[in-house]
Amino acid sequence: MAIKLAWEDDALWLQFCGEWAWAEYDQAVDDACTLLGEEARAICLVFNLLDGPIMPLEAVFTYLRRSARVLKVEQLIVIGANASVKGLLYVFARTNAALGWTPVFVYSPEEASSFLASWRQRGGLA
């Protein structure tokens, strides 16, 4: 699978590896739902794009909306996004303002972990 899933405390990490398709993303979201169980809880979603930075453009908002609907995402952190991905995710967040978050862009998994730690201290995922 081109998308690897990992759970850490209250953060769901998706590592994108090489070329990937939205069907694989949907499968990762379904696997995450199974992992989290039926109890809805707020999570932080972390996209690690360092090894798979190209986001397919077809129906991007449809797939992102689905994941936002089935996962209770309180914050999105994106590692290694190129300018196109940053633009897409900013537009997605602005056109779906009811989600209540703006993506945070970082350059490394360590920076993402550091952001998560400080965000939790400030009351995120309370």
pLDDT at 126 over 60: no
pTM, entire model: 0.91
Q: What is the pLDDT, as a whole number, of residue 68?
A: 85
- Give dist(CA 114, CA 52) in Å, integer: 22
**What is the C-alpha separation between 42 and 75, in angstroms, rounded?**
9
CATH code reported for the domain at 3-121: 3.30.750.24
The model's pLDDT over 22-44, given as tens digits with 9 standing for 90+, comes to 999 999 999 998 988 876 678 89
**Does 71 have pLDDT greater than 70?**
yes
Q: Is the pLDDT of residue 125 over 80?
A: no
pLDDT at 19 over 90: no
For the chain, the structural domain boundaries read: 3-121
pLDDT over 60 (residue 67): yes
